[in-house]
Structure 1
Amino acid sequence: MDAARKPPPSARWASFEGWDYNGMKQRLELFMDTIHKPALLDHVERISGKKANMSEPFSAGQYWCCFEFILDDQNLIIARVRLPRHPDSNENMTEEAELYAIQCEVETMEFLQHNSTTVPAPKLYAYEPPGSQQAVAVGAGYMLIEGFYGNTLEDVKFDVCDLPINTQEHIIAQWTSIQAELATFSFDRIGSISHYSQEEKGVVTVGHLASAVAERFPSGGPFTTSQQYFEAVGEARYRSALKDASESDEGDASDRFCVLGAFIFCDIVARTTLFNDETKSFHLNHMDMGTQNILVDDDFKFLAIIDWELAQTAPVQVNHFPMPFPLISSDTSIQERLQDPEHVAYRNVARQTAAQKLYQQKFRDAERSLAEKGRKVLPSIAEGLQGHASRIYAILEKLGGGWGRSEEFTYEMVRLAFGIEGDEAKRYIERMEAKINEQKG
C-alpha cells in the first residue's frame, strides 16, 4: 500500500475530545484562537518547496499540540506547537528550564541527523523558539518535523509477547539494534546534549540534565561519575515519594514502601559498588524507548523513534528489560511459576522470560555486529541486563504506580544488593525505616 492510500496520523487524532474537564477544553480553545495557522502553512511550504494541506484534526498533550501537513507528494510534516504552561505544571520548573529542555531535544535530533544513518529519528526541519520572528507570526514557539504513515507499537500491539516468535524476533532485533547504535556515541559526562554544531567540527556539549531538572535533579549536573548520578536519582525519588505519601489520603503500605524503597536505593548506591563506574564512558540513551514512542508500519518495521526530550548520556546501569517483559520479580518466584504449568501466572511469566532471553541475545548480536565495524559498545549493555544493578534500577522505576507490589519490590532490591532475605532482610528494612523517622525528627 503506497502512502497516498494509507490513513495519515491525523485519522487517529481526537482534537478536543477527552479534554472537557477542569477547564482543559477552554484552555485548548483559547490556544487555538491565538494560533495563526496560515503562517504555519506558509513555513511548511517554504521549507519543503511543495504545496501542502493542513489536516483539520489535531493532537494535544500536556506540553505540545501537533498539526499535520500533507504535501502534494503525500509526504508529511508535523508542526509541534508549544502549548501555554499546563495548570498542573511543576511550580519549580521554570519557563527557562522548559525552554532549555526543548533546546536539548532539538540539539539531540540535530546530532543524530548528522551522525547516524540507522537511528530512525524524525528529521527536524525547523525550530522556532518563543520570541523569534516566525514564532511571533504563528503565536507560539514550535518545531517542524518529519511525519510518518504509521502507528505506535503500543497501539498496534499492546503486548508484543502475544505475537508469533518470528514477529517478536523482527521487532526486538530492531529495538535493540537502535539502542546499541545510540550507545556507540559515548561521552565522558552524564547530561543532556545542550549544543551541537556541525560547522564547529561536530562539537558536542553535554550540559546539565534537561529532563525535569528542578523536579528530579536539583543540582542539574552534568555528572562526572555514575555514583553522583544515582545519588541524585535516589534522592529525587525519595523526596518525591515522601511528598506523595504526605499528600495521600490513604497512607497505605504501598506509600510506606515507596518511601522505604527509594531510601534503600540511596543506601545501596552509598554502600555497594553496583552503581560505580566500569569505565568513564556514558552512552547516549533515549531514556524512554518504550512501545509508546516507536512508530511502526503494518509489517512492524520501525519507522521512527519519537519524543527525544528525555534523551541524555547515561550510565550503563540504567538499561533494563522494557515493558512488557520487565525483570522485576525474584529468581525464586519466577522459577516457581515456570515449574507449575497450572499456576495462574505461568503463561505470562513463560512468555516474558522467553522475550527477555530473546532481547538479551539480540542485544548481543547488535553489539557484535557494531564491533565488527569498529564501533564497540563499552561497557556492554547486553551483558549487564541480567545484572543486579540493572534489576535494582528497573525495580526503582516500578515503585508506586499501578503495580501495587512496592513491598515485594523493596525486599527484592535488598536481596539483590546485599544477598539477604527473610528475617535478616526484615531487620535491615526496619533499621532503614528508623533512620527515616530520625531524619523527620
Structure 2
Amino acid sequence: MAGLLSTWKSIAELDLTSKKGSRINSILSQADFGYLARQAVHARRAEDGTKLPPDLVATFSCTRFMSGHNNFVLEVTFSDNVIWLARIHMGMEEQTVEDVVSEITTMRLVKKRTTIPVPKIYAFDATVNNPFGYQYILMELLHGKRTRLGLVPSVPSIHHQKVARQIANILLELSQITFDRIGRLIALTEGGPITVIGSKYHNVVSPMATSLEYFYGDRYGENLEIYESHQDDAQWNTASWILTTGLAHLIIPDLSNGPFPLSHQDLHFGNILFDDEFNISGVIDWSSAQTAPLESLCILPDFTLYKARGARIKDVQDFKNLIVQAPEESSTGTSAYSTKARYMAAYMASDQSELNSRLQATPSRFALDTAETFVKHIYGTTISWEQLVEIYGKLPIPRALKTS
C-alpha cells in the first residue's frame, strides 16, 4: 500500500563494506544459532506447555532481516509454523546487562498496564559471554509496516484523524504509569518489584527528583561543549547561558516534582508499525524508555514545526492539531485521567513544546539560532539579543556546568 514500507530486507542487500553490514555478516557466520534454536524451543514449551508436539524444532531464516542502529532481527520459525523474532545486539555501541533488563522490564509493564501493542518477551540473555555469543531477545512477531517518509507525508489524509487518536491514546496510556523519580525502570525478576535507576542518557547516576533537573541533565553535554569550544566568543558564551537559564521556561510548574510518567523517548515513524488500514499494530524499540517529565512525553519528532519547510509546515501543524484535540476530548473522563489529558493538550499546543523539541534535537553547532529563538520567546521585544550579549558575553559559565 502507498505510504507503507516493508520492514524486511534481503540478506543479499547487505553492504559488506559498511560497518553495520560487515557486523551483521560476522554474527551470521560466527554465532551459535543451534544453541539459540534450542533456547527458542525451551521457551516455547514454557509458554505453551503440553499442547506442543514432542518433536518441535526451531529454525532461523537467515535470508532476510530487519535492522536498527544497534540491533538486527531474524525470524524464528517453529516446525508447527509459529513464528517468533530474535533480536540480536550488533555491538555497535556498548549495551550493558542493565540496559537490556530495563528495556524488558519496561515492555512487560507496558504490555500489562496498557493496550499499546508491544511485543511479548519470551526469553533473553543480557550477557555478552553466553553460548550464543551475543546478547539476544526472543520475542513476539508483530505484523505491520513502517511508513516510508515519516507520518505526515506518508499517512493518507483520510486516515489522519484515526492515526492522531491512536497516537494520543498511546501518550495518554503511558501518562497513567507514573513513578516518583525520573530514570529507567528495572525489575530483577519477571513480575518482581520495579525500581527506578539512573538515566542512560543524562549526566547523572541517580534517579532525578524534578523536571528541571531532567532538562538540565539533558542539555549538560551540549552546553558544556558550546562553552569550551567558544570560550572567547561573547555570542556563543551568551548562547550557553540562555540555553541553561531558559530551561525553566520549558516546564509545567505544577508538575515539576512529579509524579513522572513512563515515556518511550523515541516515538517516531520508524518505531511505529501499521496494518494496511493504518491501524497501529506495534510500537517497537523501547531501549530509550524511562520515566520522564510529562513535557518530554509530549515531544513527538514527526510533528516538530521547525524541521518542516514550505507547504509542509501547514501539513505538520494540521496533523499535530488533531493529536492535540484527542486528549482534549478525553478530558471528560476520570479526574486523574482528565487532568493529565488537559495538561498534555495544552502543552502540545504551546510554544514551549516546540522549543523543547528544538532544544532536544538540535546539535550544538546550531546553538546560536536556538538561543536567539529562546530569547524571542522569553523576552519578546522587551530585551534584545545584543543587550543579553552585553550581560552574559564575558561572564564565566554557570558554576554547575564546570567539570570541576
> What's the TM-score, normalizing by structure 1?
0.74
Pairs within 5 Å for 1:20-419: 20-21=17-18, 25-49=21-45, 51-56=57-62, 57-72=64-79, 74-84=81-91, 86=92, 89=93, 98-116=96-114, 118-130=115-127, 136-153=130-147, 155=148, 158-161=150-153, 163-195=155-187, 199-200=191-192, 203-209=193-199, 211-212=200-201, 217-241=202-226, 261=239, 263-269=241-247, 274=251, 276-278=253-255, 280-320=258-298, 322-328=300-306, 345=310, 347-366=311-330, 368-369=332-333, 371=334, 377=340, 380-400=343-363, 407-416=368-377, 418-419=378-379
Could you say which residue in structure 2 is the equivalent of 1:426?
Answer: 386
Hey, what's the Cα distance between the residues in 2 that align with 1:425 and 1:395?
A: 19
> How far did residue 433 of structure 1 move?
4.0
- Return 169-178 or 225-234, whichever deviates more: 225-234
CA change 1:407–1:219 in 2 (3 A) is: closer
Matched AA of 1:233 = D
In 2, distance between residues paired with 1:317 and 1:420? Answer: 22
Distance in 2 of aligned mates of 1:304 and 1:265: 36
| Cα distance in structure 2, aligned partners of 1:74 and 1:412 | 56
For structure 2, list consecutive stretches of 5 or more residues without a partner in the other structure: 46-55
How many residues are matched? Answer: 382
Q: Percent identity?
A: 20
Give the SS at the match of 1:231: helix
**Alpha-carbon offset, residue 51 of structure 1:** 4.4
CA deviation vs aligned residue, 1:154-185 (integer Å, no higher than 9, x gap): x3x53425644331111111111011101101
- Counterpart amino acid of residue 126 in structure 1: A
Cα distance in 2 between the residues matched to 1:75 and 1:260 = 60
Q: 1:274 to 1:414 in 2, by over 3 A?
A: farther
Distance 1:356 1:374 in 2: 21
Find the residue that maps to 2:394 and give its secondary structure: helix
CA distance change for structure 1 residues 242 and 405 in 2, over 3 Å: closer, same or farther? closer
What does the per-residue CA deviation read over 1:185-211, in whole Å, with 9 as the maximum and x for residues that have no partner? Answer: 1111111102275655xx3211111x3
Equivalent-residue separation in structure 1 for 2:60 and 2:44 (angstroms): 14
SS in 2 for 1:67: strand
Q: In 2 relative to 1, CA 161–81 (structure 1 residues): closer, same or farther, beyond 3 Å?
A: closer
Q: For residues 270-329 of structure 1, what are the alpha-carbon distances to aligned partners after superposition, in whole Å with 9 as ceiling and x for unaligned? A: 6x5846452521111101111110011111111111110111111122244534331449
1:206/1:427 CA distance change after superposition, 3 Å: same
Any idea what the Cα deviations from partners look like across 1:194-230, whole Å, max 9, x if unmatched?
2275655xx3211111x33xxxx23223011112212
